[in-house]
Structure 1
Amino acid sequence: MKHKKVLALALTGVLVLSALTGCKSSSSGTETKTDSKGNENAAKDNITITMMYSGTTAENDFETEVLPKLVHEAFPNITLEVTKLPDDQYYTSLKTKLASGECPDMILVQPKYAGANSVIGLAKAGYLAPLTDLKIMEKVGGAGLESFNYNGEVYGVPGGVTILGTYYNKDVFKANGLSVPTNWEEFLNVCETLKKAGIQPIVMGDKDMYVMQFGLYQLAANVVYPSNPSFDDQLRTGETKFTDKGIWDKTIEMYKTLYDKGYIASNSLGLGAQQAIQKFVDGEAAMTFDGSFNAAAIQAEGAVSFERGYFPLPGNETGKQVYASMAMGAGPAIYSGSKHIDECKAILEKWFDGESDIYKAYADSGKVIVTYGYGSDKVNPLFKDFLDLYNKGNSFYWCNQGWPAGTENEMETLFSESIGGQKTTVEDIVKGMQSKFEELNTEK
């Protein structure tokens, strides 16, 4: 829904541990003791906790490198082993592991209905352990609780506010006399100017089809929701349809225009998400659509040095307000079949307490927009304009958070066919999305 102010993601509950030596029992049957620093040390066996996340790894990656080290420092008896996979591989692997009963202790879940790892879908199937009793939940804002809630229980920890936007090469823009576009017509003019100058305007890694959402959802924030913020809720009641004229067909047609005109590199279906990021970093394209969660990778050193900028893709008409695509971010959850549920909860309490070394490293990673505790006064300058829009209520959540998981996959598959030369029309795409939505919608 339309946001009125920055969500109070104040996950500031602190893991309150006695300074005196105390002990408690854990789900693994291992007695733990706390030291004077509030860290837990095993009185008996050491344990290994596994975690699986999705995303693009970067140098000194938080989840795979920094987090395991800091967890072991805070909990010397715990070894955290993390596997990180590209989104499509993550979804496939998660499905297999859940079906086999060999799921990692902690996994990444998406808010509401978003994706194959949606918190509602996984909680409904009984795969997640309730986290409502975590102390950090005491100060989670209403939107955070609602986004990870199923039947009155909270099953995931919000990862923070995340953004979809347009990263751009400020040096290239300046050299070609370009400024940040404020509406769709201006954006197309920017792309045409760059193309005529022999510069690839945009690069995308559509081989990983989920990245198609990065541009489409930005456009939808300006085309679909300003006139009807309840569009997705009404999909479930049948009051609206993807096939309604001038809504999703317009959104998809606008995005397809960027491919038809060659503004998005023609070999996008042969590039993975990481390859596209690298091409942008190496100065081979002036823009790329991506999220705040990949800011570290986007800002990494490449073949050429240039200043980065970030703006919302302006799908608005001239004279109309531009809206940003911003949402509650994905976050960790605990597998209900884990033998170490208590230990996993202790890690989450420490991770999101607002002041621990783990939290500080998380804030410094640039993967999330920190709105409380350490680093909240040092938000990445790239995100400032987005937060201004967010504070003014000029943003909308990511579309697929309101759809049953799988609807977005149908959109991606059909759009891929369309830009891949298979003569799939925009009408075919919206019909396919509507059909898939009706097939998957269980709230009829």
Structure 2
Amino acid sequence: MTNEYTLSRVSVPEEKLRKELSDANARLKRMGLDELSFAEAALEAEVDAPELVAVLSDSTVMISVPRADEILLEAQDVQWFVSAASGKWLDRKILRGEAVSFVFVEPQDGAAITFMAEAPGIVSAKGYFESKCDVDGRTFKCSVMVGATPVALAIATAHDYDKYFPPYHSGETYVRVDHPPNATDSQLDAVVNAYLFELASSCGMDFVPAARPAPAEWGAEDGFDAIIERGERLRPILTGPGIPDLTSLFVQALGAVDPSQRVVGFAKVIEYVAVTVVRLEGFQQIRSKLMSPHALAPDAKFMSELKSVVERQREYGEDRRALELTIRTCCDAADLRRVAPPFCTLLHKLSDEKLSSDAEKALSDFAERLSATRNQLSHAKANYTTRGTECPAADLDAFASLVRAAAQQCVRWYALSDPSLRASRQGGIAG
């Protein structure tokens, strides 16, 4: 941005403020960003130097970032604002600094959305709804910041933006946490969750931590024309017995913001289909047995074998085994491996050469990891025993994308199954 009122063209009477602005200006240059500039309307002409204007502590300073409006804040807040941007931008969720961090959150109700939409354009460096707490004798202070935050500078520096997702937009919201220098991640998480609880309980505003959209999620190739072209290739809308309940579960999972809830939600979609898969597997095995020549003159041995076939179906009454059978039956390993995170080792490393021989093993391994992760996320017991195959918290976003892809394949399989044999949500025949 070009502006004649840069730091070199203005007068800053107060020595402390002048030093702070010079330091912030140098930091911006090291970040590869434009230097500070000042809004003409907010400056006062000096009596003895009318060609210059004086910057006061409440003068409006403008910081330029790519593809977004200028960030407006008071001169007295500039040094803090720019310094806070030196933290680490992690997983598009948190700017982790030495003494101040910012957690990206998304609104879940009308009050939160209204607050975001109507917040003033000039940055409130202090934030809103400030509240303090002590953890292990150390003080944490939380507030809400809307629109431009130091995160915008960090995103611009990291080039983690594009024309669809600029470094900031006017409505995005962060929880600002001022904390001790050696605060742990677990302490920070606990404080943020407790603060969000208070916002929900006391203010009636529901926010949840989330990941800020990544540029790759909406690249240049996904412009309007490309999206319209894909929309013209929509498959026919699915209808028929059992389909309404199934697609309802899928849409509910789509609406989950937290990745752990998406995993649980899409797992429910797969579990819904599992009842039909298990039923058809049992029918097929029994039908094969009844097609034997011995069925025409059944003796004790044949009846014992038929009984064993029926009893073997009971193993699929266990959720883990039903989930495994469903994923092996409905899912395409070649397609899923494209979105499989490294956590799903066998599926992630599945090669073209071993696709035919190792696909079933990779799908079974994925099913085991999904079952363990779903159980861990669904249980609130403090003494819950893990199995060692649960998804690490850092990989939950990628894992949720994989489970979603698997759920989509299961829905397609269910829609192609015999309507007269589909199981409903209540366990009977879908109607």
Could you tell me the TM-score, scaled by structure 2's length? 0.25
Choose 1 or 2 for highest CA Rg.
2
Could you tell me the TM-score, scaled by structure 1's length? 0.25
Structure that is richer in helix per residue? 2
Say which structure, 1 or 2, has more relative contact order (CA 8 Å, 6+ apart): 1
